Amino acid sequence: MCGIVGYTGPRKAVPILIDGLRKLEYRGYDSAGLAVIEKEGLIVDKAAGKISRLEEKIRGKNFEATCGIAHTRWATHGEPTTVNAHPHFDSKEKIAIVHNGIIENYRSLREYLEKNGHQFGTETDTEILAHLIEEYYEGDLLEAVRTALVFVEGTYGIAVISANHPGEIVVARSGSPLVIGCGQGENFVASDVSALVRHTRQVVYLEEGEIAHITPDDFKISTIDKVAISPNVQQIEWSLEAIEKGGYDHFMLKEIFEQPTAVANAFRGRLNYEEGTSRLHGLTLQYEQLLKINRVLLMACGTSWHAGLIGEYIIEDLARIPVEVEYASEFRYRAPIIQDGTVAFVISQSGETADTLAALREAKRKGATVLGICNVVGSSIARETDGGIYIHAGPEIGVASTKAFTSQIMVLEMIGVLLARMRDMSIEKGRQIVAAIKKIPEQIEGILSTSDRIKSIAETYAASSNFLYLGRGINFPVALEGALKMKEISYIHAEGYPAAEMKHGPIALIDENMPAVVVALKDQVYDKVMSNIQEIKARNGRILAIATEGDTEIARMVDHVIYIPQVPYHLTPLLSIIPLQLLAYHTAVLRGCDVDQPRNLAKSVTVE
């Protein structure tokens, strides 16, 4: 999410900054900006839209500056406008800052600063930080940044310059990566090595809670608590293309592995353990309006539709509100019935899917309140809805959606908990769910660590022409999504079915050449799914089961098992889908398929 570049040295800074931004454009591209220190002071230029817009804006300007910072943005707080673009500055326009991450306590910091006379020109959390640094500035930029950060809660990777300190850059990291590039008489900073590898392959990764003071000839790293750190200079060996993919072979694999962070970003700052509920300000509905909801409509396409199906189980079970899930493409051409109390959510990673946009407009026309669950800030769907919740998964580049899916489920879980706590759910149950949500990133991490084993399982099945995916209850949509992933990228025909429906047709297909992937977790339908497994075995079918840790019985009945930790029922899809994503990925790679750009598919389907 978002990209940062900085330079200090003898060369003109602007071409280096622009080139660095271009390398980071895949991380965010809704607005961009730069700040450099000229003789007359700080010069800031910004533009909404892609980096080319910023380039157009500065074309013809003669920059002499040899020190500066730049940013390409993936908006979180505030619309992706020129005003909200980074860098942001303090009230005297002496300090400029670029920031990746989210400052969770920005509201209380803003109130504090307003009481001290600060006025703000943007809706961003980052501007608050610029003013906070100004508040503590007493002639030493490093110390001012250090003091300000003591008061910040949330995540950040920041780079700061000041007109009073030509040639100096201060950077700091907490939860959002930053790397220093070491040159000869010049130094670089970036949120990602791809932005600086053209200039140097000697880098130092800042660790959590570290701050650095950088000049052309030197850089010094310390902790926020002033403990000096000796830098660990590393040599980058990867190719540029590999670097953009963070060392992964494909964007899809990178995005699968980003899921612990992505789902944490989806719930960051939105959970309230004390009250056992969630805070979702983006819904923009008053308490009374939320209480009056008597029907929820979820509309989406593709993977987002599968997230909607999971949302149906979550919201109905937790909040006891009737939910309907519709393909957006079907909804738009029916005569849907919208009554008082109906709230519709449109779910879309891109926020640009034509059918979903049309369904949104149709639902609004008929009087529904329509809210969005989107990833791309400022997208058409985000703009046209009455409110909504961003999933904050960061740019998703692989055509087959992975991290957006789990982040959408996380948001639906929080909606379910919020609506449930306003109705029948007890505070104790709410707290249990909130506590369980917080453990999910770590549990996903654990499943990802079995990727090599899943690859060896994929080798067993990669030559198959057909796959059957089975699941029940909330894991039935997981079976659908697992099958979709497999067919999208490996071109193997794969069908997802509710396990009990197998006997009404698909069982006719089962033989030793048609493997079945069965999600068989220890839940209320476990015994039923085990019967399905026996039926498959009786017909010589091969089975890969996704099972609950500790279930040794299943291992005796199936050919392969991948275990996931026991979590509350509604959270199981967040874990059970991970091995299925990896299975599809490894199978596609083994078959030599173009994983990131599968044939005939598009990332964002903006036509009907």
Name the site residues for ligand G6P (rule: CB under 6 A). Answer: 301-304, 348-350, 353, 356, 399-401, 601, 603-605
Torsion of CA 46, 48, 49, 53, to 10 degrees: -40
Instruction: Give whichever of 457 and 588 is closer to ligand G6P, judged by the CB atom.
Output: 588
In 101-218, alpha helices (H): 106-115, 125-136, 141-150
Q: Looking at 364, 487, 522, 603, which residue is catalytic?
A: 603
Q: What residue type is assigned to position 511 of the chain? A: D
Residue with Cβ nearer ligand G6P (155 or 348): 348
CA distance 145 to 421: 40
Q: What are phi and psi of 136, to 5 degrees?
A: -100, 5
Nearest distance from residue 374's CB to ligand G6P, in Å?
A: 8
Place of tokens 């991970």: 578
Chain-centroid distance of CA 285 in Å reads 24
Q: Is there a contact between 420 and 319 (Cβ–Cβ < 8 Å)?
A: yes
Q: Which two tokens stand for residue 218?
A: 């030197």
Phi, psi of 392 (to 5 degrees): 55, 40
- CB 306 to ligand G6P: min, Å: 8
CB of 430 to ligand G6P, least distance (A): 29
Neighbours of 287 (CB within 10 A): 8
From 2, 67, 301, 374, active-site residue: 2
| Measured distance CA(277)–CA(432) in Å, rounded | 10
Quick one: 304 or 587, whose CB is closer to ligand G6P? 304
CB of 109 to ligand G6P, least distance (A): 34
> 191 or 401: whose CB is closer to ligand G6P?
401
Q: DSSP secondary structure string, 383-450?
A: HHSSEEEE-------SSS--HHHHHHHHHHHHHHHHHHHTTT--HHHHHHHHHHHHHHHHHHHHHHTT
Indicate the SS3 state at residue 317: helix
Taking residue 549's Cβ as centre, other Cβ atoms within 10 Å add up to: 10
Q: Do the beta carbons of residue 266 and residue 393 sit within 8 Å?
A: yes
Peptide bond connecting 87 to the previous residue in cis, omega within 30 degrees of 0: yes
CA distance linking residue 601 with residue 539, whole number of Å: 35
Q: Which is nearer to ligand G6P, 325 or 567 (CB)?
A: 325
- Kindly report the length of the chain: 608
Residue type, 433: I
**Contact call for residues 497 and 470 (beta carbons, < 8 A):** yes
Task: Tell me how far, at minimum, the Cβ of 257 lies from ligand G6P, in Å.
Answer: 18
Nearer Cβ to ligand G6P (425/489): 489
220 is a catalytic site residue? no
Neighbouring residues of 291: CB distance < 8 A, sequence distance ≥ 6: 422
Please give the residue whose beta carbon sits closest to ligand G6P in the complex. Answer: 302
Compare residues 353 and 385 and give the one whose CB is closer to ligand G6P. 353
3-state secondary structure (DSSP) of residue 330: helix
Nearest residue (CB) to ligand G6P, 240 versus 601: 601
Q: How far is the CB of 300 from ligand G6P (least distance, A)?
A: 6
Contacts of 309 (CB under 8 A, 6+ apart): 325, 476, 477, 480
Buried b (16+ CB within 10 A) or exposed e, 396-407: bbbbbbbbbbbb
Q: Which is nearer to ligand G6P, 522 or 603 (CB)?
A: 603
2 is an active site residue = yes
Instruction: Give the residue numbers annotated as catalytic, written as ranges.
Output: 2, 603
